[in-house]
A and B are shown apart, each in its own frame.
Chain A
Amino acid sequence: MRNLKMKKEFKVIADLLSNNTRVLDVGCGDGSLMSLLKKEKNIEVRGLELSQENVQQCIHKGLPVIQGNAETELHQFPDQSFDYVVLSQTLQAFYEPEKVLKDLLRIGKSVIVSIPNFGYWKVRTKLLFFGKMPVTKTLPNTWYNTPNLHMCTIKDLFNFCDEKNINIKKVVGVNEDKTSLIYKNNLEIKNLFSKLGIFLIG
C-alpha cells in the first residue's frame, strides 16, 4: 500500500518531527519513511509491520523492524517509550481504530496520524452523482475488497479528538504538492479540498 502513497506525505511528516528523536513507525511498509527520517533528521527509528516481504525489505536496509499486527501487538511497547508514533493511512483499516489510537497515545509522547480524506470533493461528487462507492487515487479499492473498514473525513477525526479530549497540536491538509494548515475556522473548506489529512496529536 505504501508505494501508492504520496511522497509529499512523508515530507510533511518529516517536517513535523524534531531531529534526534525516537520514532515508532506503525505499519512501516518497506521502510521508506524510516529511511528518510534516519537520513534527514538523525531520528532513531523502529518499525512495526505485518507483511513478511516488507519486513525483509526493512531488514535489508538495516532498519529495525518487528513483524506483527498493530491491532493486537502494540501492548509490547512500554508507556511513553517513543517521542513520536507515526501511523500513516492505516487508522481506517483497523477493527477498533479508537483502541489503537489510545494505544498509540500511550506509547508516544506525540502521535502523527494521517488519513485519506473521505470528505475530499471528488469522493463526495462520485457518491453524489454516480451513486457508487468512490474509487480514487488515494482510495484505489472497490467496496468489496477495500481494507478500509472505518473511512472518515478530516472533520470526523477533528471532532473525534475534540470529543475524546485529545489535544490537537497541528493538522496539515495535503492536496497533490500543496499543503495547508487546518484550523477550526477553515475546517469546512479544507475538508473539501484536501486529499489527505495529517494530524499531530497528544
Chain B
Amino acid sequence: MPSLAGLFFWMNVKIENIKKLNVIKSLKLDCGKTISNFPLAYETYGTLNQNKDNAILVFHALTGDQFVTGTNPITKKEGWWITAVGPDKAIDTNKYFVICANVIGGCMGSLGPKNINPETKVPYGLDFPVITIKDMIRAQESLLEHLGIKKLLCATGGSMGGMQLLQFCTTFPDKTFSAVPIACSSSHSAQNIALNELARQAIMADPVWDNGKYVLKDAQPKNGLAVARMVGHISYLSEKGMQEKFGRKLQEKADYEFSFNADFQVESYLRHQGYAFTERFDANSILYITRAMDYFDLSKQFKGGLIEAFKNQKTKFLIISFSSDWLYTTKENKDIVIALNASGADVSYSEIITDKGHDSFLLNEPEFLKTLKSFIDSMYEKFKNEKRI
C-alpha cells in the first residue's frame, strides 16, 4: 500500500493522461468571481455519427466522475453507471455517443480546490471560489461546442446529475431534444441540506483538514471524509433495503465482542465504504460540491417559480423516481412533473417500485433500465425524423 502522499502523486500523474479540454473563454461564476483558461476533464463512449444526432450527455452525481462505464483508468474500478451505459445496455454505446464531464469543483481532472491557484502558485484549498450547479453546466457547454454538437439527442443524470440537467434545460433550452432527470429535485430540501451539513461538519471536525490547508501538505482528512461518506451511504439506502441486506448480522464472528470494533455487518460496510472513498476523493471537493447542491433552487432563479422556469420548453422530458428514495422523494420528483405539465411541456413520468432507495438508479433495476431504454430509443427515432424534415 503506497503512502498517502505517494498515492496522491501517483493519482496526479495518472490524471495528466486523461482527456481534458482547456476552456479558454472566461466564465463568470454566480459568486461574482471569474475563471478562465481552466481544465475540464471528460470521457466519451461510442462514436458520434455523421449527422451528429446520436449524442447523449450524462451528468454525474456528487461523488461520480466522467468515467461512466468500462474501467475507470484511475481507480481501476467499474464505471459508476456500468449498469445503464455500454454496448447493448439501456444507453447503448454501439448506437449512441455518450459524453460525460467531471464537474468543476470536482477532483478527477476538472478545475477544483486541489488545483494550483495561478495567483498564489499553491493549491487553492478554500481559496477556490464557491461554485453552483449553474456554473457546472455552463462550464460543460464549452465541451459541446468543442465536440461540435449543436443539439444533443438526450441528456440524463441522477441525483445531482438530475439537478444539473434541470438547470441545463432551463439555461440552454435548445441544446437537447430530450431529457431524463432521475431521482432529483428542483431545489434542495431542508433534510438534504442538513445531511450535507453533517458531511461537511465531519470533514471540518477532522484536525487534518486544517481549514482546507491539508492540500498544501499532501495530506487528506481521512477520518472526517470517511464519516462524510458514511452519512451519504445511509441516505442512499432505504430502511427496508438496509434491514434486508444487513439485518443484525454480525461481521465474521459468532457473538458480540463487547468492544467498539465493527461487530455488525452494517458497521463494517460503512467503515469499508467510508475509508475506500478517501482514496479516490478530495475532502475539499465534497465541501464545494455539496454547497453547490444546497444552493440549488431552480424556482428562485425564475421570478414566477418553477412553472416560469420551464416556460416554452421544447425538450421532451421523462422524469423517473424510486418509491423507496427518501433523499429525493417521489413527491419532489412529481413537483417537477406538475410544473412541466402546467407550463405545457412534453413530459412523461414513471415511479419505479423498489426497496433499494436512492441508489436504485445506479443498480440493476430491470424496470428502470427498460423504461430508460424505451424512452431514449423512441426519442432517437423522433429526433432523426425531425432533423430529416
Q: Counting CB contacts under 8 A, is A160 at the interface? A: no
Bound complex: CA A77 to CA B348 (Å) = 13
Among residues of A, the one whose C-beta sits closest to the C-beta of B318 is A59
B338 close to A52 (CB less than 8 A): no
Total A-B Cβ pairs within 8 A: 56
A67 interfacial by beta-carbon distance below 8 Å: yes
Taking the closest CB of chain A, its distance from the CB of B250, in whole angstroms, is 37
B72 contacts chain A at the CB level, 8 A cutoff: no
Q: Which chain B residues lie closer than 8 Å to A59 at the CB level? A: 318, 348, 350, 371, 374-375, 378
Q: Are B378 and A62 in contact (CB under 8 A)?
A: yes
Mask: chain B, 326-367; 1 = CB below 8 Å from A; 0 = not: 000000001001100110101111111100000000000001
Given the contacts A60-B374, A78-B342, A67 and B347 also touching, CB distance less than 8 Å: no
Q: How distant is A199 from chain B, measured CB to nearest CB, in Å?
A: 25
Partner of A56, one of B347, B370, B379, B382: B370
How large, as a class, is the contact surface on chain A? Answer: 10 to 19
Q: A59-B371, A76-B338 are in contact. Are A65 and B348 (CB under 8 A)?
A: yes
Q: How far does the alpha carbon of A58 sit from the alpha carbon of B347 in the complex, in Å? A: 12
User: Chain B nearest CB: distance from A28 CB in Å?
Assistant: 11
Q: Are B341 and A76 in contact (CB under 8 A)?
A: yes
B381 beta carbon closer than 8 Å to chain A: yes
Judged by DSSP, the binding face of B is helix
* A97 at interface by CB-CB < 8 Å: no
Whether a CB of chain B sits under 8 angstroms from the CB of A55 is yes
Most buried by A among B338, B350, B371: B350
How many chain B residues touch the partner (CB < 8 A)? 26
Q: How far is the CA of A67 from the CA of B349 in the complex (A)?
A: 6
A64 to B353, CA, bound (A): 20
Q: Is B316 an interface residue (CB 8 A)?
A: yes
A187 to chain B, nearest CB (A): 37
- 0/1 interface trace, chain A 48-63, chain B, CB 8 Å (1 if under): 0000100110111110
CA of A30 to CA of B82, assembled, Å: 30
B337 and A66 contacting across the interface, CB-CB below 8 Å: yes
Residue of B337, B342, B349 ringed by the most chain A CB atoms within 10 A: B349
> Of the candidates B347, B374, B382, which one forms a contact with A66 in the assembled complex, judged by CB atoms under 8 Å apart?
B347
> What residues on A are CB-neighbors of B341 within 8 Å?
66, 76-78, 81
Task: Please state if B347 and A81 are interface contacts (CB–CB under 8 Å).
Answer: no
Residue of B nearest to A48 (CB): B349
Cα-based distance from A166 to B129 in the complex (angstroms): 61
Chain B neighbourhood of A52, CB < 8 A: 350-353, 367
**B367 proximity list for chain A (CB < 8 A):** 52, 56
* CA distance in complex: A61, B341 (Å): 20
A81 pairs with B337, CB closer than 8 A: no
Residues 13-72 of A contacting B (Cβ, < 8 Å): 52, 55-56, 58-62, 64-68
Measured CB to CB, the nearest residue on chain A to B367 is A52
C-alpha gap A147/B370 in the complex (Å): 29
Min CB distance, A65 to chain B, in Å?
Answer: 5
B-side contacts of A67, CB under 8 Å? 349-351
Which residue of B is nearest A22, CB measured?
B344
Q: Give complex CA distance A60, B374 in Å.
A: 4
B348 touches A60 (CB 8 A): no
Whether B378 pairs with A55 at a CB distance below 8 angstroms is no
* CB neighbours of A56 from chain B (8 A): 350, 367, 370-371, 374
CB pair B378 A60 closer than 8 Å? yes
List B contacts of A81 (CB < 8 A).
341-342, 344
A66:B378 contact, CB within 8 angstroms:
no
CA gap between A67 and B371 in the complex, in Å: 12
A58, A65, A76, A77 — most chain B CB neighbours (10 Å): A76
Q: List chain A residues, Cβ under 8 A from B379.
A: 62
User: Which residues on B sit within 8 Å (CB–CB) of A64?
Assistant: 316, 346-348
What are the 7 closest A-B residue pairs judged by CB atoms, nearest first?
A62-B378, A60-B374, A76-B338, A66-B349, A59-B374, A67-B350, A64-B348
Return 22 A-B CB contacts under 8 Å, by A number: A52-B352, A52-B367, A59-B348, A59-B371, A59-B375, A59-B378, A60-B374, A60-B377, A62-B378, A62-B382, A64-B316, A64-B347, A64-B348, A66-B347, A67-B350, A67-B351, A68-B334, A76-B337, A76-B338, A77-B341, A78-B341, A81-B341
Q: A52-B353, A56-B370, A62-B378 are in contact. List 20 more A-B contacts (CB 8 A).
A: A52-B352, A55-B371, A56-B350, A56-B367, A56-B374, A59-B318, A59-B374, A59-B378, A60-B374, A60-B377, A62-B381, A64-B316, A64-B348, A65-B349, A66-B347, A66-B348, A78-B341, A78-B342, A81-B341, A81-B342
Binding site for A on B (CB under 8 A): 316, 318, 334, 337-338, 341-342, 344, 346-353, 367, 370-371, 374-375, 377-379, 381-382
